[in-house]
Each structure stands twice: as C-alpha cells, then as structure tokens.
Chain A
Amino acid sequence: MSQADLAIESLSPHGAEAHGAGVMEESPFAIPSSKLVMWLFIISDACTFGAMLFAYGFIRNSAADWPQVFESASIWNSLLMTFILVSTSLTVLFAVKAAQSEDRAGAFRWTMVTAAGGILFTLLHIREWLSLIGQGARLFQNPWGSPMFGAAFFSITGLHMAHVVGGVVALIVVGLSYRSGRYAARHIEIWALYWHFVDLVWMFVVPLIYLLNMKR
C-alpha cells in the first residue's frame, strides 16, 4: 500500500478536510469521510470473519472426530498473545490521545509501541504455527482427527494474522508520516479504529478456535 492509500484522502468537507464547509449539508455522523469509510470497512470485514467462523462452526458440528488438540502450553501461549494484543489496544489509545493534543513525538512513540506489540504477537503466533506444523498438522491433514481442523485453524488464524501484519505496516507508515507532519491526528485515530477491530476479532478467535479445542 502506498502512503496515499493509507491516508485515504477524500473530498469530504468535514473535520480537517473542511474545504467545503458552509456549502455542504452536514454529514449525519459528523465524522470525516475517511473515518466513515473505516467504519464501513469494519462492518464489511466483520461479515467476512463472520462467514469464516460460520464455516468453521458448520464443519466442526458435522465432524464426528473433531480433535481436541491444544495442550496447556498452547493455551498459555494464546493467553499471552491475547494479553499483548489487548495491551496494544491500550497503547494505541495513548497514541490517539497524544495525537489529539498535537504531541507528535508522543503519538509516534505510542504508535511504534503498538506496532511492536503487533510484531511480537505475530512472532508468537508463527511460533505456535511452527510447533503445530512440527507435530504434523497441515492445511489438509493432521495426526489427531478430522483433517478440517488444520484447514479451519490455519485459514482463520491466517486471515487474522494477515490483518495484524497489515495493521502493523499501516501503523508504522502512519506513525512516521504523522511525526513528519504529513498526516493529521485523524489518520492515527482511523488506523487505531482498525487496530481495535483486529483485537476484537481475536476475542472471538480465542474461545472458538483455542478454548473449544483444548485437550481434556
């Protein structure tokens, strides 16, 4: 993605893009168009994850031999990942606060802390993937039971991981550009929205993918 795309510049007259204030009708939501578009994207992306999780539930319910795979080490790992991701929701909030009070250095710092949390999350996740792969799990088979376990696990967590990686890249670009003054505070805020959403999706992934498939 280029920087121009991340900035999602619009013709909207609202907020900081107020070139047309006074000749336009008020937006019903009183937020910049770029923020509206992020909300709309989140709604649509929620449908995408909803469809993935529906497919998982459909397959899981119809399988006679769905494996219970995760040992306590995996669960602890996922809880650690959850802790990190939830913490970054807090740090990105600090970044937004700093940006809103025009503290460019502070906003940059918190954005980078958030991105670092995202990277750490991804690394832990990759480690988890590698460990499962090492035990013989593949997209199309696994040693424990229904071959669809691997398909569901890797596709859903993979889609989520792609969202995290995308968010990390976006946060780094937006943080750097905000520090250099090219971007405004609302850009930080918009990508913070996205980051919260990725966090929220994980809140569904953990119970449905990890806790339901815990070894008993």
Chain B
Amino acid sequence: MQPSLPSHHPLLGPDTAILAAQQQSASASFFHNQRTNTAHQDANSNAVLAPASGAMPFTVAPPQAHAPFDAGALAFDAAITNAPPGAPNKHTTYPYVTGTSVLAIKYKDGIMMAADTLGAYGATKRYKSISRIVPAAPTTLVGAGGEISDFQYISKLLTELNDNDVIRDDGVVLKPREVFAYLQRVMYNRRNKFDPLWNSLVVGGVDQATGEAFLGTCSMIGVSYTDSHVATGFGNHLARPLFRNEQRDDMTEQEARALLEKALRVCYYRDKNSINKFVIGTVTKESGMKVSEPFSLSTEWGYDAFVHPTKHALGSW
C-alpha cells in the first residue's frame, strides 16, 4: 500500500527503514521490501520444483502420503505448525472442508447455476449453510466445489476487485469473461507455485453490453473451458449427460429450472457428500443477478434399485 513513494524511503515505516538500512549495498531495489517478504518462500518453492533424482517427470509426490482425516493427518498438521524455521513450506496436499458439484446451464435469458449448501469435513456433514454460489461482479456469479476456505479466499479477491471498480467510479465493471480470465490466471499461478487453490470453479454471467450469456469452468490446475453447460466433480459424470440430451440455449426459465432440479436430484441420490438443501442462482440481462433462498427437493427412495441395490449385479458387489 505504498503507491507513490520508493519503498526504501524512511516515511514508509520503521520496518522498511531498517530493511533499507541493512541493504547498504548500492543495489537497493525499488521493490526491495516486497522481494524480501517473498524471498524465503521462493527459495523453498524452488526446492520443491527441483525434481529428486529418479522422480517421475510429471508427478509430484507430497512429502508424506496420508489418507485424509486419519490420526496421521493430525500429526501432519502438527508438523506444519511446529515446523522449525527454514523448513520447507508445506502446501495443500488434500482439502479439509469441501463442497461438492456445481451445475450450470445457459438458457434463453442468461445462465442458471445450482449447488447444495454443504461444507463436508471428510464424510461428516460439518457445515450445512455454506454459500457456494456468490456474486463476483455486477452480472457474474461464481460457484465452487472443493476446499471451502480456498473459495472464501477467492471470493475475497473478487470482492476487492469490485470494490476497486466502484471506488474508481469510471463506469468500468468486470464482465463475466474477464472474471473468468482472471480466475484462470489465479488458479494457474497457484498451481505453478505448487500451492494450489483446491477448487473447481464455475463462472457464469451475462455481458451487459451485448446481452451475451457466458459460462466457463476452471480446475485447480488451470484446466478451463467454456460451454453451454458445465458441471464440476460428480456433476461432470452425473449431470452433464442429462445436459447433453436436454439443454438448449433457447430453453425457457421454467425448462431450465426443471432440468437443473432433475440434475440436482440425480446428484443428490448418488453423491453421498451432498445434502438436500440447494440454491439456484440466475443472471439475466433483464432482471440482473439473483441467488435464491435455500430450498429442498422432493425425493423418492422406494425405487426397487435403491431397495435391492445388488439385484441385477449378482456377484459383482
């Protein structure tokens, strides 16, 4: 937050002054204090980058292999928090509190996005009212599966971007595809640091100027694409086949909602890390952006296949 002064200046506070004093050599860099803050981390990520001899070229094993949420995981946490100074940084190797699929489709008026509100701690339904679909810009929604804390951090980044647009007051606001491009770079940069944000993101919205609907998704390592329908996690296997059959860009709001509810129901039946408490968000050119109050869907558990799951699969399981 020192926009207009060289950072080694005495005005910038005692810490910087000391840093500048220590750097007596003539090479005092303009961005010296920033570099100092990150030097430690950079040195360590270089250490991680250098492949151990005989390592597989395209896989990176974590320092220790752990099954999530067992006693060993707690010991692993202790290893992080009690690490001696100079020890290598430990990065995310698995998520703690997770959200499951996000589903989204284009329709006549814009886009519609759906997700449940669960934050699961392993197999425990730990948080039941988590917002996983949030406004990211005036006409853009972002939905997330994966690590909830990482997503809340991403939401904060987006809030700050927007606040800056509002403060500048020059009429420029982020469009959906700009939010998407930004998030792609954030996710890809973090994977480059071997410190990924453990999320699958869905970006949906409408370009206010053209009225064009936008839908895209990005994974934690930066694999991203746009399409008329997207779904993360389980949704990619369970919901997208339904979307491929039934989604059309010119479907009505009622049809779109019916399709999403159908897909949500299928996901809820088959995904044990989901709950029957959903929100649906919409972005349209006419009525802007809305995220619904949580609602639940009617369910029917009396299907023969549910009651006798092995009936037609004798001997397999």
Q: Do A and B come from one complex?
A: no
- Show the binding face of A for B, using Cβ within 8 Å: none
